[in-house]
Amino acid sequence: MKVLIAVDGSDRALRAIDAVARWPGAPASVEILLLNVRERPAHFGDFPPFDDESVEARIESVQDQVLEVAERHARRAGLERVTLERASGHPATEIARVAHARDVDHIAMSTHGRTAIAGLFLGSVAQRVLHHVDVPVLLVK
């Protein structure tokens, strides 16, 4: 069984890893894909999005750090079959795209993101993912 777990560097995202590790048959039967999505910078009117190679490299480095922490956490939880992927774009869109492209069986993610504003609702990303995928989604508080 292949499970995409969306990670954003929060403790809540790590709890999604723990939840998957406790599934019946896990860890032996579970292959996980840890995905970190960064939103593209906003575009304001006549000003193009900020595009500096050093900034881009730093952002990718932060994504890699988030994924490395999540991978260590997954391995400590007993999950051995771990793949890492980073993406750029709207998180819900990218989670759905990667889930489809990688033919995952399930998605696991937290109900709320890193920011308090994003957490005011069910989690706008979680809600959008639910409406854009055809596989079961495990939401972890």
Average pLDDT over residues 107-119: 68
Contact 109, 137 (CB under 8 A): yes
What global pTM score does this model have?
0.86
Contact 125, 113 (CB under 8 A): yes
Query: Is the Cα torsion angle 109, 116, 39, 57 positive or negative in sign?
Result: negative
From 21-25, 65-69, 104-108, 114-118, the region with the lowest mean pLDDT? 114-118
Q: What is the arrangement of strands in the sheet containing 2-6, beginning at the earlier edge strand?
A: 81-88, 31-38, 2-6, 106-110, 137-140
Look at strands 106-110 and 31-38 and give their pairing: unpaired
Residue ranges and CATH numbers for the domains of the chain are: 2-140 (3.40.50.620)
Class of residue 90 by CB neighbours under 10 A (exposed 0-12, middle 13-18, buried 19+): middle
Residue 116 has pLDDT above 70, yes or no: no
| More reliable by pLDDT, 120 or 101 | 101
From 36-40, 89-93, 103-107, the region with the lowest mean pLDDT? 36-40
Q: What is the DSSP letter of 4?
A: E
Contacts of 67 (CB under 8 A, 6+ apart): 7, 34, 36, 84, 85, 86
Task: Give backbone dihedrals phi and psi of 133, rounded to 5 degrees, phi first.
Answer: -130, 160
Average pLDDT over residues 24-28: 88
Of the chain, the percentage scoring pLDDT greater than 70 comes to 83
For the chain, the farthest-separated pair of C-alpha atoms sits apart, in whole angstroms, at 54
> Across all residues in the chain, what is the average pLDDT?
87
